Structure 1
Amino acid sequence: MTASPVPVSGAPRVLPGPALLSGVGGRADLAAHRAQYGSLPRLRLDDLLGSLARLRVRGRGGAAFPFETKLRTAAAGRRPVVVVNLSEGEPASAKDCALATTRPHLVLDGAVVTARALGARELHVVVPAERPRVAASVLAALDERDDRLTIVVHTAEARFVAGQARAVLELMGGRPNLPVTAWTPEAVSGHRGRPTLLSNAETWAQVGRLVLVGEERYAAHGTPEEPGTTLLTLSAPTPAVVEVAFGTPWRDVLPDTWAGRPVLVGGFHGTWLRWEDLATGTVSVDAMRAAGTPLGAGVLVCPAECPVAFTARVVDYLASQSAGRCGPCFNGLPALATAVRAVAGGTGPTDRVEELAALVTGRGACAHPDGTVRLVRSMLTAFPAETAAHGSGRCAS
């Protein structure tokens, strides 16, 4: 497989933050966690649903789907299953790794309080093979707890698509850790056909903090429209995980060394932005989605190299990481990678890239092809001069 242009970081810098990362740097054991937050309350399902709706808690895995909706859907079925998905397949992302190694009990509290409210008896925890510190920290945290749930730990493959929801369910079912086509959400029919509430570490940590500190303290950060905070991975030059309140100006978040340089927002399935376009905005799921530049999984990459050349390397990597189970991945992504590489090398036209992007979009068994096309199209849109320069056999960067 092709190596990732951004190496996986199993030990990112984790900077202190206002909420989830408050006091980070101290002990991460259960005693220290309870000293900071107190004991975990028991909540009725309706009370938990109400808090989640009022605070607009959304998933932090990339889609920003309302968590209250997903929970309500899972609660409508019988014998639901809860899953903590720590298999951070995106190499440039490190926020779940950061939480697992510094705030494991906050993550587990969110999952446990939700499982109890649902009446679920099973809690599954999925850890990444490529980040051994995550597994070690989570296993140590589980050993300290007695949540009276059946807890099963799974190890996901070191693969970009391994963390996709259906790939995780395949792993839990003893099958290859790859995405499959599904016609119903996992909250309706997931593990063994049962409603399955699956979210990443940051989502569970947000739920945990909400129930531990209450709505008023949770809403003390952010804006009335978007309460709370979010974690971001700043992926260059050294991966760092930071926590910022929604509504924070991007100029206050981004490193000074990034000024004037293009930034890839949302990770390898994200969109390119010029510095001046990003720096004039704020950290906002709603505003960025409306602008067509979604925050996604909260990964920001500012490569030292030309964005056209970097995109070609990312697409090469993504093509090698596909499940290879459907035409868009098996045939489309390698062809797209070849076409983008030709544009970067000055030997191929952008027309071929556009043609392949149109053929791939909307036809995959999972979102991997669509995410890859989003990246490629944003390169063409954000950097027309750079792309044209490559077509003339030179690089403008």
Structure 2
Amino acid sequence: MSEPTGAWKRTAAGAGLLGPDGSVSPTIFAEMTALATSTGAINLGQGFPDEDGPLEVLDAAREAIAQGANQYAPGRGIPDLRLAISEHQQRFYGLHLDPDRHVLVSAGATEAIAAALLALVDSADDEIVVFEPYYDSYAACVALAGARLVTVPLRWPDFQPDLDALERAVTDRTRVILVNNPHNPTGAVFETPVLQRIVELAERHDAIIVADEVYEHLTFDVPHVPLATLPGGWERTLTISSAGKTFSTTGWKIGWATGPAPLITAVNTVKQYLTYSNGTPFQPAIATGLRLHDAFFEGIASELALKRDILGAGLRAAGFTVSEPRGSYFTVADASPLGVTDAAAFCRDLPQRAGVVGVPVSAFVTTEHRAQYATLVRFAACKRVEVLEDAAGRLAALMR
């Protein structure tokens, strides 16, 4: 069998997805989770909750299974979930969607992102602009689509993009501006002028915005502003979200994309040859979740803010400098005050030293930019309070 060549291999190598010998590199999450398992360390590396979601949602899934919802769902998603998604977009953001034309259910947000890029990329000359550090699947999806990855750096400590750098990155070669807001791994929530500039640049260069907004309900003291709600935004924005982060059901893999009918049709054209259909009994359960009362959505944000504060206090007590996150599951800490110069090596040693697992931020950037993030570590706050308090106590041992 011949080796893969061309744009895929070039992009994958540049993003650090291939090893020196051309082999596929394991993800940092797999490596760190294995370390947590082998050492018994508390895993604050991977972003999954350790508590179940709301009982109403779990009961609805059990009921759907009992009632026989165990075969293929329609490729676009069951009608009631598509209706619930459209109701959600109107309820929270004032967007009026036709559930039959503007909504597509996917196997989690990651599939929707992959299908979107595969659908929208026309040639190896197309460029995808992302903010760096970035969720690790972005580089992989760009590589699979055969496009070129162009990054806009987010700088410590607030991780807001420089607008001049953004303007230089977006050109007539830009096919997609991929925006994750609230942002993983940094916990940043982009300010409205940044979002407005993204829309302006997309209009100027005829680019499509793919907005990954899976943490939309997990912001702290700042509102979530969907790009599709800004002037000029709806016409060229594909918005992607997921049930996993909102309802603590990451294993169910129920996501969705919303946007103008031509964009949804393009994504569905690819999606039908990926999973086609997924999670039949979970789809009515997520429809139930999206219709929960406002107190639920307010409560998950305030609870996570409390957990963020516990984690942040523990990291500061351990000697880290901490960037205060405004959203998402994650907190980024600078380990340089501890004498660390290589966060990747530090994270591999941390389970033995302190019984805690984190992830180096350098795992979320292109190879040539890793030195700029060399001392930064991402920790996840989406764990039970007692687990976070235990982790904070273990980290404090670093100072002894």
TM-score of the aligned structures, taking structure 1 as reference length: 0.28
Q: Which has the higher contact order (CA 8 A, sep 6+)?
A: 2
Given the two structures, how large is their TM-score scaled by the length of structure 2?
Answer: 0.28
